[in-house]
C-alpha cells in the first residue's frame, strides 16, 4: 500500500508532466502557424519556432547555472505567464485582426512581428521552467518513495500517459492554429499560458529542493539527443533518425495541412484533422499497450527501421496520399523510438550526453535551414526528408541482416563475388 504522501507526489508529478507536454506540443502548433502568417522571411515561417527553441536553450543553460529556490521558481512562472499574456494581447492588437483585448500601453506600439517574437521568448522561458519543475517533482516523488520504504509494486504513471494528456490539452486549444484566424489563436494563448504558469507555480512548491533541468532530453526524454556512441552502432541508426524526425515533422504541420488538404471542411478543420493524425501516430506506439511490453529493445529497433522503410515506399503513392502516408508511418516510428529512449536504450550514459541546451540550440539552427528549404523547394523538401529516413531504416535492416550472417564485411564480400550472381 502506498502512503498518502506518495500518492500526492505521484499526482503532482503527473500534473506537471501534463502541463509540460502541453507547452511543448502547443508551442509547435501555435508558433509555426503564427510564424507563417507574420514572419516568413525566406525561412518558411519557422523563424518563430527557431527563436522559441533557442530561447529555451538559453533559459535551460541559465537555470542550470543559477538554481532558483522553490519560491523563486513559482514567482518566475507567474511572471513569465503574465508576460506571455501581454505579448499575445499586443500581437493581436497590432495585427490586422484586433480582438478587442486591452494590451499594455507600452506594448501596443510594437509591430506584430516584434510582439510575436516576445511571445516566443516568453513561451521558451515557460517551457524551460516547466522542465525544471518536472525534474524537481521527480526528485520529490523519489524522496516520498524512500520515506514510504520503497512502496514495493507502486510506480508512478508512465510518461506516455501524461504526454497523451498534455497533447490532448494542447490540441483542444491549438490544433486548428494553421488554418484559424491568428487573432483567435492569440486569444486562446493569452489566457492559457498564464493559467499554465500559475498551475506550475503551485506544483513548484511541492518540488524537490534542488530542482535543476535534466541533463538531456528536456523532460521525459521528450527531446532527442544526438549521441556519438549510438551513431557508431549501426543497429541504432534507425532509432536515432526516427527520434530527430519530430523536429521537421512538427515544424511542417502548417505546410502539410495545406498540401494534404482534401478540400472538405474549413481551413481550420482541415488543419485540426492533419495535426490530430500526426500527433496520434506519434503517441499511440509509446503508450503502455500490453502487447508491446515484453518486446526486447532489438525487436523494437527493427520495428522502427521497418516503419522508416515503409514510409519511404509510401512516397510511391501518387498525390498527397503518398506524402501523408509517409508522415504517418514515420510518426509511428518516432513513437517507438521514444519508447526506446524511455526504456534507457540510448546508447550512452547520461553523464556523457550533450546538454539539452546545446541540443536545442543546434535544433534551432537546423530548423532555420529546414525552413529555407521549404520556402525554396516546397513539398520536395518533405519528400527528400522522408526518403532520407527510409534510407536510414533500410541501412539499419541491412546491417542487422548482415550481422546475423557474419557481419557487414562478409555481406559485402558475398555481394561482390561472382558466385553471388552480381557482377
Q: Where are the alpha helices (DSSP H) in 175-261?
A: 182-204, 228-231, 237-244, 246-251, 253-259
- Helices 182-204 and 112-147, packing angle to 10 deg: 30
Q: Give me the pLDDT at residue 101, please.
A: 44
Whether residue 36 contacts residue 254, with contact meaning beta carbons closer than 8 Å, is answered with yes
Whether residue 32 contacts residue 251, with contact meaning beta carbons closer than 8 Å, is answered with yes
CATH domain 1-225 topology: Growth Hormone; Chain: A; (1.20.1250)
Q: Give me the pLDDT at residue 412, please.
A: 46
Separation between Cα atoms, residue 183 and residue 127, nearest integer Å: 22
The Cβ of residue 2 has, within 10 Å, a number of other Cβ atoms equal to: 16
Q: Which pLDDT tens digits describe the chain residue by residue (423 residues)?
A: 467 888 888 899 999 999 999 999 999 999 988 888 776 666 767 899 999 999 999 999 898 888 888 889 999 999 999 999 999 988 887 544 444 444 454 555 667 778 889 999 999 999 999 999 998 898 888 888 777 765 545 677 788 999 999 999 999 999 999 888 888 999 999 999 999 999 999 999 887 654 554 545 688 888 887 777 667 777 778 888 998 888 888 988 888 887 776 667 788 888 898 899 999 999 998 888 776 666 788 888 899 999 999 999 999 888 788 888 999 999 999 999 998 888 774 444 444 445 778 889 989 999 999 999 988 888 899 999 999 999 999 988 888 776 666 555 554 444 445 444 443
Q: Give me the pLDDT at residue 262, please.
A: 66
Largest CA distance in the chain: 81
Q: Give me the pLDDT at residue 40, please.
A: 64
Q: CATH 1.20.1250 in the chain, residues? A: 1-225
Whether residue 254 contacts residue 178, with contact meaning beta carbons closer than 8 Å, is answered with yes
CA-based nearest residue to 235, from 73, 102, 351, 346:
346
Separation between Cα atoms, residue 385 and residue 419, nearest integer Å: 37
Cell of 70: 522553490
Cell 508551442 belongs to residue: 27
The Cβ of residue 75 has, within 10 Å, a number of other Cβ atoms equal to: 14
Q: Tell me the residue length of the chain.
A: 423
Q: Give me the pLDDT at residue 309, please.
A: 95
Separation between Cα atoms, residue 285 and residue 303, nearest integer Å: 11
Separation between Cα atoms, residue 300 and residue 291, nearest integer Å: 12
The Cβ of residue 146 has, within 10 Å, a number of other Cβ atoms equal to: 11
Cell 552502432 belongs to residue: 233
Separation between Cα atoms, residue 268 and residue 274, nearest integer Å: 10
CA-based nearest residue to 166, from 26, 320, 342:
26
Q: Give me the pLDDT at residue 232, please.
A: 75
Amino acid at each position: 500500500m502506498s502512503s498518502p504522501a506518495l500518492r500526492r507526489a505521484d499526482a503532482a508529478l503527473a500534473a506537471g508532466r501534463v502541463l509540460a507536454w502541453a507547452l511543448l506540443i502547443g508551442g509547435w502548433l501555435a508558433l509555426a502557424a503564427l510564424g507563417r502568417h507574420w514572419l516568413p522571411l525566406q525561412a518558411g515561417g519557422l523563424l518563430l519556432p527557431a527563436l522559441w527553441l533557442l530561447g529555451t536553450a538559453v533559459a535551460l543553460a541559465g537555470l542550470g547555472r543559477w538554481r532558483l529556490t522553490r519560491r523563486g521558481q513559482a514567482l518566475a512562472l507567474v511572471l513569465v505567464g503574465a508576460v506571455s499574456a501581454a505579448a499575445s494581447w499586443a500581437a493581436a492588437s497590432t495585427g490586422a485582426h484586433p480582438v478587442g483585448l486591452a494590451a499594455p500601453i507600452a506594448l501596443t506600439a510594437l509591430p506584430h512581428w516584434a510582439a510575436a517574437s516576445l511571445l516566443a521568448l516568453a513561451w521558451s522561458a515557460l517551457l524551460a521552467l516547466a522542465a525544471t519543475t518536472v525534474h524537481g517533482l521527480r526528485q520529490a516523488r523519489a524522496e516520498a518513495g524512500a520515506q514510504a520504504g520503497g512502496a514495493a509494486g507502486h510506480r508512478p504513471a508512465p510518461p506516455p500517459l501524461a504526454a497523451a494528456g498534455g497533447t490532448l490539452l494542447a490540441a483542444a486549444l491549438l490544433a486548428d492554429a494553421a488554418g484559424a484566424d491568428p487573432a483567435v489563436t492569440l486569444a486562446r494563448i493569452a489566457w492559457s499560458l498564464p493559467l499554465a504558469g500559475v498551475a506550475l507555480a503551485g506544483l513548484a512548491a511541492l518540488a524537490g529542493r534542488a530542482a535543476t533541468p535534466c541533463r538531456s532530453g528536456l523532460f521525459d526524454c521528450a527531446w532527442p539527443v544526438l549521441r556519438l556512441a549510438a551513431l557508431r552502432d549501426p543497429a541504432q541508426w534507425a532509432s536515432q533518425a526516427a527520434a530527430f524526425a519530430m523536429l521537421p515533422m512538427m515544424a511542417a504541420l502548417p505546410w502539410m495541412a495545406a498540401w494534404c488538404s482534401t478540400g472538405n471542411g474549413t481551413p481550420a478543420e482541415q488543419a485540426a484533422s492533419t495535426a490530430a493524425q500526426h500527433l496520434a501516430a506519434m503517441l499511440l506506439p509509446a503508450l503502455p499497450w500490453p502487447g508491446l511490453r515484453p518486446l526486447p529493445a532489438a525487436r523494437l529497433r527493427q520495428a522502427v527501421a521497418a516503419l522508416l522503410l515503409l514510409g519511404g515506399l509510401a512516397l510511391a503513392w501518387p498525390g498527397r496520399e503518398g506524402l501523408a502516408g509517409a508522415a504517418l508511418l514515420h510518426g509511428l516510428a518516432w513513437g517507438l523510438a521514444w519508447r526506446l529512449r524511455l526504456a534507457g536504450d540510448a546508447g550512452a550514459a547520461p553523464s556523457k550526453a550533450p546538454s539539452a541546451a546545446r541540443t536545442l540550440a543546434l535544433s534551432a539552427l537546423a530548423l532555420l535551414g529546414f525552413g529555407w528549404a521549404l520556402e525554396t523547394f516546397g513539398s520536395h523538401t518533405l519528400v527528400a526528408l522522408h526518403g532520407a529516413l527510409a534510407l536510414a531504416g533500410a541501412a539499419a535492416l541491412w546491417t542487422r541482416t548482415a550481422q546475423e550472417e557474419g557481419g557487414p564485411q562478409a555481406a559485402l564480400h558475398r555481394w561482390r563475388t561472382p558466385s553471388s550472381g552480381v557482377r
